[in-house]
Chains A and B, each alone.
Chain A
Amino acid sequence: MKIEQILDRRRAVVSEGGVRVEVDVSLLADPRPGDHVIVHAGYAIETLSLEDAEERLELFRKLAELSGEPGGTG
């Protein structure tokens, strides 16, 4: 979900697929409009570092092709 607007130190409006809902952002250190966040039970619990889609596919591609080597991406 994407932060659209910070209302106060606790509340923000997030959107996904055109649906806007209010969530609590008090568990985030520095929430900003435009951040993508994971929301659990009405609370944003983390900001996602969004690798762009191409980068993510590249990662999966490497994982699929590698053989014999232990996997893992971090």
Chain B
Amino acid sequence: MSEESALARQLVSEIGAVTARIGRPVRLMEVCGTHTVELRKQGIHSLLPPEVVLVSGPGCPVCVTPSGYIDNAMKLVSEGRAVVATFGDLMKVPGASGRTLASLSGTGRVKMVYSPRELVEAARSSALPVVFLAVGFETTVPTILSSLMDAREQGLRNLLLYTAFKTVPPALRFLLSDPSHGIDGFILPGHVSVIIGSDAYAFLEEDGGRPGVITGFDGMDMLVGVLALLRLIQAGQRKVRNAYPRAVTREGNARALELMARTLAPRSETWRGLGAIPGAALGLQDWLADADAQLVLGIPPAEDREAPGCLCSRVIAGVSLPPQCGLFGKRCTPDDPVGPCMVSSEGTCAAWFRYGASR
């Protein structure tokens, strides 16, 4: 046995011992969709004692985007007003009509991209405005802004952003404001924290807060993160720890934060499942009004309507677990999804479906 796997066993055994000392069930929220997937894909969930319940948080950007956003984007395409460019996940999310952007591929006005870098060429080669479905958290936000700035520096003014940018700290604050949240601690996101820095979570140490541990994504990182969090819970310490110091600093990525501060302003927007959270979204500042698709093209506010029977909104809020949904694994699968939690590769339902539904 390699030393690493011997250590993993030791970590698992220590996790068991600390959980036993806590002496009651604990609910740990993994905030980030990547953790939702990796904890299950790497089988970490199956190594934890049954008293440790992992609940998914609101950190899947596609999942928290209201359904009306998709309808608005589809309307731009079907009316021939713009080319809509998007990451692949959003192509498969049904709008209120049940149809998807993928169903409009034949128009030639839907463009899937892997990186925002592709947007500059897309804008250059299009006579129509190119509207990017700018969905994401702090990790993705600066990459999209960087591409927008690149396009503008090259004189391309037909790249527009339809922003649905979301920010993690206000969402956590909002979750904690509900006295019935039942969360004992947070497994804090690795890559969001790369951008915003560990100091951004200082509010978790205040009254009403909960301990949190910034955690990386390999198996050992996640075991260490869970163990560190359980120890904080056992000791009754409302502290934030950084268990991913090789990537995350206290201050975050200064260049990315500077770019965001120069271009964006906080807004209140609807999060699917959570409603309108004060200041938990980011929109373009006034000086970039000519790049704001909602203003330039007169896009109405996105309504949030959920498909009948879909529990995605409750799953996002950490209230329900996927198997509690009557559609899960039956009417709703990754191949034929009903709600965004099953569509997105980072969605909780998709992760449970693919990697086992035990806990």
Contacts A57-B4, A67-B14 given; indicate if A45 touches B228 (C-beta within 8 A).
no
Interface pair A72/B239, CB less than 8 Å apart: yes
Provided the pairs A43-B117, A71-B241 are in contact, do residues A63 and B18 lie with their beta carbons within 8 angstroms? no
Q: Are A70 and B237 in contact (CB under 8 A)?
A: yes
Contact of B143 among A41, A49, A68, A71 (CB under 8 A): A41
B246/A41 in contact, CB under 8 A:
no
Q: How far is the CB of A63 from chain B (nearest CB, A)?
A: 5
Nearest-neighbour CB distance to chain B for A37, whole angstroms, equals: 10
B115 — which chain A residues lie within 8 A by C-beta?
24, 41-43
A43 engages B146 (CB within 8 Å): yes
| B3 CB within 8 Å of chain A | yes
The answer on a CB contact under 8 Å between A49 and B246 is: yes
- The chain B residues found within 8 Å of chain A, CB to CB, are 3-4, 7, 10-11, 14, 17-18, 21, 87, 114-118, 139-140, 142-143, 146-147, 150, 191, 194-195, 198, 213, 220, 224, 227-229, 231-232, 234-235, 237, 239, 241-243, 245-247, 253-256, 259
Cβ–Cβ contact A45 & B194, under 8 A? yes
A-B contact pairs, 26 of them (CB 8 A): A27-B253, A27-B259, A28-B255, A29-B255, A40-B191, A41-B140, A42-B143, A45-B142, A45-B143, A46-B247, A46-B253, A51-B246, A57-B4, A61-B10, A63-B228, A65-B10, A68-B21, A69-B235, A71-B241, A71-B243, A72-B213, A72-B228, A72-B242, A72-B243, A74-B241, A74-B245
- Of A27, A45, A69, the residue contacting B191 (CB under 8 A) is A45
Interface band, chain A: 20 to 34
Contacts known (A27-B255, A38-B191, A60-B11); A71 close to B139, Cβ less than 8 A: no
Tell me the complex Cα distance, A51–B247, Å.
Answer: 11
A43 pairs with B195, CB closer than 8 A: no
Given contacts A48-B247, A57-B4, contact A70 B143 (CB under 8 A): no
Q: Which A residues touch B229, using CB under 8 A? A: 71
